Amino acid sequence: MKVLANDGLDQSGIDALTLQGFEVITKKVPQEFLIEYINEHKIRTILVRSATQVRKELIDSCPSIEIIGRGGVGMDNIDVDYAREKGIHVINTPSASSESVAELVFAHLFSGARFLQDSNRKMPLVGDTEFASLKKAYAAGIELKGKTIGIVGMGRIGQEVAKIALGLGMRVIAADNMIGKASIKVTFYNKQFINVDIETEPLQEVLKHSDFITLHVPAQKEGFMIGKKNLKL
């Protein structure tokens, strides 16, 4: 079976598939040539991340496709229901990236709270001549400990974010229409752990009481979740 990993695939994944007899192709085929390439090479499985779009036109035009795989959680770039109606298996990897995404959230939070992006750019350029003013500006940086983080969407990623936040000593509040209470287990290196139950509440309340907001929800039909009215809260 030929597998096209159009958005790339880690070597460990390539090795695992090859070991099972699959032919793995990692060539990046531009979207406009994808249908032609799939049909020419009789691709039976296409693996994507977020860049490649697998829509109705491609599904209808590529009868050889049997499996569509998404390396990640969200499948907004795939017409999932339509593909399944056509008998195509559509799969994703819901747990694979949760910890990585949660860590990235805090990379951004630390960077923003301490002006790291700005300081890393300006200090090498004008640090010698404007050190005093820059130092004063960056002294406004704040700690995350003791602050309140509002997590919108308490799925796998949201819960991983909550674990890190609790470890930092942050207050965690959350909004999720599908979950009433999230039970968070924070495990430490020595196998000790704590359990924390987080009751979800309406989005409006989370927005009012949070110092930081992090969103972990599917793409919204309106194109956004937080608008002008929400920001006023």
pLDDT at 220: 82
Q: DSSP 3-state assignment of 6?
A: coil
Same domain as 179, residue 76: no
Backbone φ and ψ of 33, nearest 5° = -110, 5
Residues 138 and 220 in one domain: yes
With both helix axes pointing from N to C terminus, report the angle between 156-167 and 98-113 in degrees, rounded to the nearest 10.
Answer: 50
- Predicted local confidence at residue 73, as pLDDT: 80
| C-alpha–C-alpha distance, residues 3 and 21, integer Å | 11
Tens of each residue's pLDDT in the chain, 233 residues: 999 999 999 999 999 999 999 999 999 999 999 999 999 999 999 999 989 999 999 999 999 999 999 998 889 999 999 999 999 999 999 877 889 999 999 999 999 999 999 999 999 999 999 999 999 999 999 999 999 999 999 999 999 999 999 999 999 999 999 999 999 999 999 999 999 999 999 999 999 999 999 999 987 888 888 888 888 88
Residue 70's closest CA among 96, 43, 93?
A: 93
Distance between CA 57 and CA 32 in Å, rounded?
A: 11
Residue 155: DSSP 8-state: S
pLDDT value of position 192: 95
How many CA atoms within 13 Å lie on the side-chain side of 210?
24
Strands (E), the chain: 2-5, 23-25, 45-48, 67-70, 89-92, 148-152, 171-175, 181-187, 193-199, 212-215
Of 51, 73, 92, the residue at which a domain comes to its end is 92
Residue 154, token pair as written in the block: 């308490």
Residue 224: which domain range?
Answer: 98-232
| Number of domains into which the chain is organized | 2
Do residues 86 and 103 share a domain?
Answer: no
Task: Return the pLDDT at 233.
Answer: 84
pLDDT at 133: 94
- The pLDDT, as a whole number, for residue 3 is 97
**What CATH code is carried by the domain that includes residue 218?**
3.40.50.720
Query: What is the structure's pLDDT at 221?
Result: 82
CB 29 within 8 A of CB 4: yes
Identify whether residues 225 and 136 lie together within a single domain. Answer: yes
Instruction: Give 96-141 as a DSSP string.
Output: TTHHHHHHHHHHHHHHHHTTHHHHHHHHHHHHHHHHHHHHHHHTT-
Q: What is the pLDDT of residue 163?
A: 97
Terminal alpha carbon distance of the chain = 54
